[in-house]
Structure 1
Amino acid sequence: MHALELSILLHRALEARVEHLSGLLADPAWQQDPEGLHQVRVGSRRLRSVLDLVRPELYPGFRRQGRRLRGLTRALGLTRELDVHSAWLERLAVPGLATGSALEHALEVLEAKRGKARRAMARDLERISLKRLPDLLKVPSLPDPFVPGNLAGDVWEALDPRLEAAFSPLPGLLDREDPPALHAARIRVKRFRYALEVLGAAFQAPPEARLRQLKELQTALGEHHAADGRVPLVLVTSIEAEVGVVAVESHGQAGRGAEGQPVPEPVRIA
């Protein structure tokens, strides 16, 4: 038996997210557009957040479609990461900042890596067969499968463990710097936010303020995690090793550009 009200709410959320993601995928230019790729990746995660809440036995091919969506998210991951790092390095090219040839070489090698990643991504996407995503909305005909439910109780039962997972580790992060733990906390907060987006339709008033606060917390965790600059620095170091460029002398000028302009902070990977 399945609670009728919650099942209807979740199916409507599935319909909206499948339609949104299918619309993004219909744009022939999305794979080459960094922002378009980012939106598809976010759309795949939002759709997966609904799949985490529905009853699998209600949907034929549920597991197959879940694997397809996970494959989509993974296929876009490296390309998105390289797009973000490329944007960050391009922002370092502040007029008047003496970076030598290191930045130019880094961007050249990074561009080659991005091209290779996009070609691999295209092969992965062809194998995933995203045109079958609307099949997810097919619901089987079950004999008397639904019963009236307590929507408020069902929603809280779904939210409570995600709320606990998102917030219980946060106080411990105040004691010491732990970038991996910050990243993991950000992911848990994001998952809770996505679940609240779905289940918020059951609230008397949409939880828009809470969603904004969760987004701000997620952003703060991401920016703090990236503040030490280690992610882009590791990337630049590996690229420099490939092209035989050492930028130690230019690294000492980091922090301020021409006329005291601040060098951009690392870009958060969404």
Structure 2
Amino acid sequence: MIQQRHSQTQQLRDWAYLGMEKYFRKAIAYEQKVLTDQDPEDLHQMRVGMRRLRSAVTGFAPILDLPPQMSNKRIGKMARILGELRDLDVLQEALQEYQPQVKAKEQPLLEKALQKLSKRRSKAFKTVKNFLKSKTYKNFKQSVNTWLQEPHYQNWAELPVNSVLPDLLLPYINQLLLHPAWWVGVTVEGEKIKRPTRLTLKGAESQISQQGEALHDLRKQAKRVRYQMSLFRQHYGPVYQEYVQEIKQIQEVLGTIQDTLVLEAFLDEVLPSNWRQEGPGLTKLLTKQRYECWKEWYKLQQRYLNELVRQGLRQAAISPLIAIAVTENNTLVSKDLPEDMNSGKTTNHRHLHNKH
């Protein structure tokens, strides 16, 4: 039955089904490995699967008829339970990465932080373990399997997928482009946009300190857009693919900045108040990593304050048949899709940005 669906995936309902099935299978595939707690990557992959399943539920919500156990709210709650443990793993990985880079006199600080983190992680893992063995989780899996065996949709789910893709994608893209974090550190005088011409460590730290929440929220919106756009990648051409990759870069750069802030908050909580003075090497590493990411963010911010780049992203989503590239001299160029688009192959083209 699944193979037949793959060969006839022209209606919107078919793409909804494929997305729901793919991410559900991805999530539960790691369930037993997560319970053994041998590799943090297993938890990460299960969490990603659950998050993407939630994105599919949200993105296809207008055409889906789902039981309460499969609601966006329920899946979000499950993802957060996994996320609490995953966040601790990220902190642990970061501390272990910094450990060989600091001097011997700072090692006791890191050891103490790792000990505190280990205790907190044990409690979080117990919560995850209990959840994966709970009746709530079993009912969720049963509900999804039942729906996959006999899916229910709204009437207009039989529309051709290409005819409604812009309607599904543009609300997410618009929220991304209208996010206030794009204007962090920016002043507008008339029609002119002014940004700092010289990036300094002090200036970066000041902006991050004041606007950290807004930047973190932009990261979350970028992730939502990326997940939604990824659902339909094979319906679009190379320009669309480049935008997906660029939005991923935005997510990762802002995510690294946020990770350093979360780590500092954790250290403030578990270490003496003077840990920055006692551990100048660690403090410098955290600050340096933020600054390097801030310089990458500066380039991405500049690009997405360009009206033509924003127009290009919207246009890329509007039509699965034509994508728009922004050239170096800020002109728009139409790119017809290759005939083998549905096979997932794309032709070579100039990158939208320089990758690092």
CA distance, structure 1, for counterparts of residue 229 and residue 147 of structure 2: 21
Give ranges in structure 1 of 5+ residues lacking alignment.
Answer: none
2:162 to 152, 156, 177: 152
* Partner-residue secondary structure (3-state), 1:27: helix
1:222-270 per-residue CA deviation (whole Å, 9 max, x = no partner) reads 23445xx4321221121125xxx8535422344669xxxx99847x9xx
2:347 corresponds to: none
- Normalising by structure 1, report the TM-score: 0.79
Q: Which amino acid aligns with 1:230?
A: L
Give ranges in structure 2 of 5+ residues lacking alignment.
Answer: 1-9, 187-206, 294-356
CA distance, structure 2, for counterparts of residue 134 and residue 205 of structure 1: 35
Q: Is the 8 A contact 1:151 1:202 kept in 2?
A: no
RMSD: 3.2
Aligned residue runs from structure 1 range 1-270, under 5 A: 5-27=11-33, 29=35, 31-55=37-61, 58-61=64-67, 63-66=68-71, 67-94=73-100, 97=103, 98-127=105-134, 128-130=136-138, 131-132=141-142, 133-139=144-150, 145=155, 149-169=159-179, 170-175=181-186, 176-177=207-208, 178-203=211-236, 207-226=240-259, 229-241=260-272, 247-254=275-282, 265=289
2:311 corresponds to: none
1:55-101 per-residue CA deviation (whole Å, 9 max, x = no partner) reads 4674441x312244223201112211111111112222226612052
Q: Which amino acid aligns with 1:221?
A: L
1:104-159 per-residue CA deviation (whole Å, 9 max, x = no partner) reads 111111111110111122223333324424234143578x9457635333110111
- Measured after TM superposition, the shift of residue 193 of structure 1 is 0.7
Q: Is the 8 A contact 1:89 1:107 kept in 2?
A: yes
Q: Which amino acid aligns with 1:234?
A: A
Q: Which structure has the higher relative contact order (CA within 8 Å, separation 6+)?
A: 1
Q: Which amino acid aligns with 1:196?
A: M
Equivalences, count: 253
Q: Is the 8 A contact 2:27 2:46 kept in 1?
A: yes
> Which stretches of structure 1, 4 residues or more, deviate above 6 A after TM superposition?
none
**Greater mean deviation of Cα atoms: 65-74 or 131-140:** 131-140
1:15-68 per-residue CA deviation (whole Å, 9 max, x = no partner) reads 22222222222436564531111111111011111111224674441x312244
